[in-house]
Structure 1
Amino acid sequence: MRQRFFLEVAANDQLVAFCPPEVIYHQSLKKIAFGSKSIEVDFRAHPDQKDRIVISKRMQEELQFPNLNIPLHTFIEDQVLFIGPLVGIFTSGFSASQNNPIGERTSFFAKLISVNKTVGAVPFVFGEQHIDWEQGSIKGFFYHESVWETFDVPFPNVIYDRLPNRKSEENPKLIKVKNRLQKEYLIPWYNPGFFNKLDINDRLQQNDIVASYLPETHPFTSFSMIEIMLSQYGHIYFKPKNGSLGFGVHQIIYDKHHGDYYCRYQDPDGINRLRKFSSLEKLFNRVFSKQNLDRMIVQQGIHLLRKGTRAIDFRVHTNKDELGNWHVSAIAAKIAGVGSVTTHKRSGGEIKTISEIFPTEECELFTEKLSKAALNLSSVLDHNIEGIIGEIGFDLGIDRNGDVWFFEANSKPGRSIFEHPELKDFDLLTRQLSIAFAVFLTEQALHHPEELFQ
């Protein structure tokens, strides 16, 4: 049974662990472990210390345990008492700055690590250059009492993938590190990889529960395909297969009364454009002359709910908790900027809560519909994608008929919605759940490894 205790370090060199009676009751424990390190010790009941386990300074040093005064979980398997979990957050882009060790993303990681006490885990940040393979240890970056510190710690129980972009993800050196830690050391690794739009769409299409959420989507093959979709839907979206943050998204509109084509997009200078063309060929020659069209997809246009003339879509975050169950952890509405093809902030978009835009009855209805769709989509993706997924950010829309549409799934969702003052609590919740899931994975790896390493 999983429990939480403080780990207290006593100033002696005994190899004895003093535990509350319920920890060692009916257990013949022989070892204590932290991360990948374990040592043989004697276990004795300590009835006066019901909220803590006491170890010696020598044990702390041998286990490479950073004494951060955090209540930790205990797991028992094969006569070993595991303390933790120790959660490695893997990323790249480290700097030499002591105050900003991960560059401009330092504040995000500081906030992520700061959930350690409420979750009961020891999270730290590291990169491939911080691994000592011979010693089986890692120079980890810890955020403790508002200061960044480094400690040498064992290999972690679980690794949370926070690589920042596809370029780092495709780095051969980082791929080698990920494969080695997963295959040789059997460390569960969650949220690996950025999603490919077409791949996600194909996988979701195969499931009847969520197929109704999907707009018609195809890889670009010809102008005739676009003509057919324009005649059917009136407008389409033309965007990169592996794009993010709304970069490269174009809306193409056909005016059937006058036979004109319009293209709405953001130019390289960040200006929202709407240009008119007499033919689709001219549009492509002018707008896409320098682009590799093989990397693009064509997607059905949806007539979304609007605030005035501005389209509205929704960001819905889902996370798994420490029991491995999916939850909707945040919902925000995003209003497109004036003349913008997307709802992103850099294009003039605004973040709002649903209750700021819709009256109470509609707010409740839309929240229920979006939550149901996001949980269905999470479950289907979870069962149809390789690797372990612990969080997803969905971009969803609701059309004028009240139907929900799926636009995109993000394995490493951005966090711009949490700049809204009324979404601060959801910011905290998403961070707590993303680390709490590591508690579940640690337990699974110890008790049911066959379910993780099939």
Structure 2
Amino acid sequence: MKQNVRPLIGIMTATKSDGTIAGNASLFKRLQKKLISQNGISFIFTLEGVGEDQITGYQFDPKDGLWKKEIFPFPDLVYNRIPLRKVEQTKAFHRFIETLIERKIPFFNPSFIDKYQLYILFKDHPFLKQYLPQTILVQQEHALFLFLQKHKSIYLKPASASKGKGIYRIKLLQDQIHVEGTKNLLTHFPSFQLFWQEWQEHLLNNPYLAQEDIHSAEYEGNRYDFRILVHVKNGVYSLTGIGIRQSQDQGITTHIPAGGKLLPYHLIRSSFHEEFIERIIEPIGEALTEKIGYFGEFSIDAGISKNGKYYIYEVNSKPMSFDEPEIEEVKIERLCQLFQELTKFRPNQKNTI
């Protein structure tokens, strides 16, 4: 490893069951290239590689396009990109975070964000609560039935899933229950009791939220919502980019992995959308940091109803890659700026390890 480059950024990821390294390799490579241009360097590592005073990790070499295993000192900053929720629940993860705190090493993105935890956090927030769809935790048959009776159409969402996985829409039509999934699964039950008998084990063993179905605004006949990317810049949460996702064959979700479509932002752009987005960014970042820990980045899933009311659906730590190249380019710039800001190393500043 070169010994004359700072900052040294450690990107924390995880090992998959087959022993290979998980994570967004494309992101890691692009960060390494950008850091090198600023006289910095990065390496990826897993908890298994953490020792008492050094870390065994992998450094990407852009010259030959290869990952090289090396031993590194503890980094100047740790960027948490662990893609597996279960890893963040281990004793090894919590011990490592304690070590970073003891060594005064900054880190950001402390954990995944549980959907119900987020709802509880925001529903008591004096400003953000106005943008929340009505939501309950699925725990009892009667409470879920009353919630469905009230709204007639609701979503069932796993509290700890992402990318639109495991989402269903339940409708009460007369006395029948209609269940629709992202793969156009459509099941009918003649009564709520029969629905509950078949679904209760799944809904209670995998914590689920029930959320009112918002009748979203549409563009050319299909609903759309916002994907908003945020990073800290000069100590303030600020907008990195806005993407639009539109439902297609199924109307359950707009997530692209579940069949959604990218829609150019300029097609629905308005000053009202931008005012809403700018107003929610800082309060969300401050609330997350106060209650959970320091998030240097996050993405927001938000939307607008047909009658013009805005909603916050989800906030995601460790955002997925955006399909818009221009947003991805700004993201790399913002992350490297944040690395420099938190480590107090200026770009191209010569320092030695």
Give the TM-score of the pair, scaled to structure 2. Answer: 0.87
1:85 matched to 2:85 = no
Relative to structure 1, is the Cα distance of residues 317 and 170 closer, same or farther in structure 2, using a 3 angstrom cutoff? Answer: same
Letter in 2 for 1:324: G
Match of 1:410 among 286, 299, 316: 316
Within 5 Å, which residues of 2 pair with 1:51-450? 65-67=2-4, 84-93=6-15, 102=21, 105-117=24-36, 121-133=40-52, 136-146=53-63, 147=65, 148-183=67-102, 185-255=103-173, 258-266=174-182, 271-292=183-204, 295-321=207-233, 323-356=234-267, 358=268, 362-382=269-289, 384-415=290-321, 417-418=322-323, 423-443=324-344
Partner residue, 1:11: none
Secondary structure of the residue that 2:14 maps to in structure 1? coil
- The TM-score normalised by the length of structure 1 is 0.69
* Structure 2 gap segments, 5+ residues each: 346-353
1:133-191 per-residue CA deviation (whole Å, 9 max, x = no partner) reads 2xx333342223343334443211111111111122123333322322333x2212211
| Inter-partner Cα distance in structure 2 for 1:156 and 1:110 | 17
2-side partners of 1:103 and 1:193: how far apart?
Answer: 16
Q: What do residues 379-418 of structure 1 show as CA deviations (whole Å, max 9, x unaligned)?
A: 3323x32322100111111111222111111111111x32
Aligned equivalents of 1:170, 1:186: Cα separation in 2: 22
- Following superposition, the deviation at residue 441 of structure 1 comes to 2.0
Distance 1:288 1:431, change over 3 A: farther
Cα separation, 2, equivalents of 1:160 and 1:310 = 37
Identical amino acids, percent of aligned pairs: 23
Is 1:337–1:349's contact at 8 Å kept on the other side of the alignment? yes
Going from structure 1 to structure 2, the CA distance change for 1:290 and 1:159 (only over 3 Å counts) comes to closer
User: Does the CA contact (< 8 Å) of 2:164 and 2:257 recur in 1?
Assistant: no
Distance 1:348 1:109 in 2: 26
Pairs aligned (count): 343
SS at match of 1:400: coil
Letter in 1 for 2:95: K
- For residue 351 of structure 2, what is the aligned residue in structure 1? none
Q: Deviation at 1:247?
A: 1.5
Judge conservation of contact 1:204–1:381 (CA < 8 Å) in 2.
no
Q: Give the superposed CA RMSD.
A: 2.7
Specify whether residues 276 and 297 from structure 1 end up closer, same or farther in structure 2 by C-alpha distance, changes over 3 A only. Answer: same
Q: Distance in 1 between matches of 2:16 and 2:177?
A: 47
Q: Which ranges in structure 1 are unaligned for 5 or more consecutive residues?
A: 1-63, 69-83, 445-454
Partner-residue secondary structure (3-state), 2:285: helix
- The amino acid that maps onto 2:181 is Y
Partners of 1:344 and 1:308 lie apart in 2 by: 18
The separation in 2 between residues aligned to 1:118 and 1:219, in whole angstroms, is 48
Contact map agreement 2:241 2:327 (CA 8 A) in 1: yes
Distance 1:394 1:289, change over 3 A: same
- Name which structure has the greater RCO, CA cutoff 8 Å, separation 6+: 2
1:119–1:210 CA distance, 2 compared to 1 (3 A): farther
Deviation of the 1:378 alpha carbon? 2.2
Contact 1:331 1:353 in 2 (8 A): no
Please state how far the C-alpha of 1:365 moved relative to its aligned partner.
2.9
Secondary structure at the residue paired with 2:157? strand
Q: Is the 8 A contact 2:231 2:239 kept in 1?
A: yes
The letter for the 2-side match of 1:354 is Y
